[in-house]
Amino acid sequence: MKTTRRRIATALTAGLLGAGALALAVPSAQAAPQAVNPVTASPYIYLGAGYQPNVASTMSATGLKAFTIAFVLSNGGCSPTWDGGASAATNTINAVRNAGGDVIVSFGGWAGNKLGEHCSSASALAGAYQKVIDQFKLKAIDIDIENTEMSTPAVQDRVLGALKLVKQKNPGIKVVVTMGTETSGPNGDGARLIKQGKALDAGVDVWSIMPFDFSNGGDMWAHTKSAAEGLKNLLKSSFGWSDATAYSHMGISSMNGKTDNAGETVTLANFNSILSYAQTNHLARLTYWSANRDRACGSGGDGDTCSGVNQKANDFSKVIGKFTG
C-alpha cells in the first residue's frame, strides 16, 4: 500500500492538529457497544481521503458492524496525532457507534511520521498507544507496520515490547499486526517480526497480511491464497501451532479494484473467493483498503476515492459484511 493508499498521506500536515495532547483534544467518543467484535470484518476508512463514506448508510446496506479507522501517526515526537484530523476521527467513530457498530483504530501505515520510530522506548510507545485507547475506549488496535518501521529491527522490537505492555495494562484488548507480504508469504522482515513476537511474548492476537502490490500482477485470488498459506506455515513454525490454531490467528487485508501497481486488479470475484477461504478456515479477520474506494470512478481511473473497476456502491463491503470468522 504505497501510492494509491498513501498518496494523500505524504501531505498529511494539513490534516493534523497540534503537538502533544492537543492532537487528540476533541470531545470524547461514544462508548463502544459491548456485543460487536471490531476485529473480524472491518474495512479501513482513511480519514485523509477526499471522499468519506456515510458509515450509517454503508452499515445498513452491507451488514457491516465495524470499521478500521486510519491512521494514528506521530506529531514528530512521541505523541499521537491523526492523519486527517482529530475531529474527523471522533466524528467518524461516533457515527459508527451511534449506528450500533464499533471500530478498531490503526496506527502507522506507509507514509508519515510513525510512533514506533519517534518514541524512544517500548514504555513510551505503549504510553502513546494508551492515550488513544483511553480516549476512544477501544477494544482493539491495529498496528500497520510498514516501510522503515518494519525494516528496522530495533523499531520492530520496540513496537512488540510496547504491545506486550498494552496487553498487560488492558486485559481483553485485541491486538492486530498488519504487514505487507510476498506471494509466498511474509518476507524476511515479516518473518523476523513474527518470530520476535513469539520470543518477546508480545501477545499479538492476529497477524494480518496485505496480499497486493505484487510486481507481476496476475491472478490475485491465487496470489492471496498462496500468501495466506505462507503466513499460516510461518505461524505454525514460529509458535508450534496446528493448522486450525494458526488460521485462527490470521487476517487478510486486501485492496478493492485497481491496486497501486499498474496492471494489478483485485476483482469482486476475487473477493468472493477470498471470503470463502477465510470462512472455511475460520480466519480471525477479513478487511480491505478501503471503504472510501468502494464505488466506481466517473473518469474510469482509480485513486483514494474510487476503485477503478465497474461496480456498484458498496459491492466490496457487502462481501466483507458476510464474513463471520
Phi/psi for 176 (5° steps) reads -110, 135
What count of other Cβ atoms lies within 10 Å of the Cβ of residue 282? 12
Residues with catalytic function? 146
The answer to whether 110 and 151 are in contact (CB under 8 A) is: no
- Cell digits for 184? 509466498
3-state secondary structure of 77: coil
Nearest to 69 by CA among 100, 21, 101: 101
- Cell digits for 267? 476483482
Nearest to 221 by CA among 264, 281, 250: 264
- In DSSP terms, which residues pair with 251 in a beta bridge? 208, 285
- Cell digits for 296? 466506481
Helix axes of 220-239 and 268-281: crossing angle, nearest 10 degrees: 30
- Cell digits for 39? 476485529
Give the burial class of 203: count Cβ atoms within 10 A of its Cβ; 0-12 exposed, 13-18 middle, 19 or more buried.
middle
Helix or strand (DSSP H, E) at 91:
helix 86-98
Strand locations in 154-248, DSSP E?
Answer: 174-180, 206-210
The answer to whether 251 and 205 are in contact (CB under 8 A) is: no
3-state secondary structure of 220: helix
